[in-house]
Amino acid sequence: MLSPSTATIRLFLHVLAASVWVGGQFALAGVVPALRRAAPDSTKVVGQAFARVAWPAFGVVVLTGMWNLMAVDITTRDSAWQGTVLLHLAMGIASGVFAAIHAAGKSKLSLAIGGALGALTSVAALFLGVLLHSGTA
């Protein structure tokens, strides 16, 4: 068996937390319509329960993301890699902002826009993270 390193543990924690953040959004997107039909008042409770798991996961993504950046000499990377990192960071930040808009939303419009753009930007951040790692492997 290969021995884990600090780098593999760091990447594992980052991917695990991103899986909770992104995957949880899609799991809820699949469950919420059925919940609305069966118990309309339950969606808020379920959303709050998810938030207790999702926001700490988002925090872990941010912390391990900073750790990942500190482990790399970005000045030696080409401009395409640097641009991808910037876009990855922008999508990650946007994901958190849109999720916060969704969580604080009172209108159907803010809930819909926050949820849709939060999911879209979180998937974009996930894809860009995979792209960055595949470029360094």
Q: Could you tell me the CA-to-CA distances from 119 to 8, 61, 72, 110 in Å, in that order?
A: 26, 15, 28, 14
Residue 137 pLDDT:
46
* Tokens representing residue 107 in the block: 């209108």
Residue 136 pLDDT:
60
Residue 133 pLDDT:
87
50-86, pLDDT tens digit by residue? 999 999 999 999 999 999 999 999 889 999 999 999 9
Residue 78 pLDDT:
92
Domain boundaries, the chain: 6-136
Alpha helices in the chain (DSSP H): 6-18, 24-38, 42-70, 79-104, 108-136
36-54, pLDDT tens digit by residue? 999 988 998 999 999 999 9
What gap in Å lies between CA 11 and CA 28, rounded to an integer? 25
Q: Going by C-beta distance under 8 Å and a sequence separation of 6 or more, which residues neighbour residue 31?
A: 46
Residue 91 pLDDT:
98
What gap in Å lies between CA 92 and CA 73, rounded to an integer? 21
Residue 134 pLDDT:
87
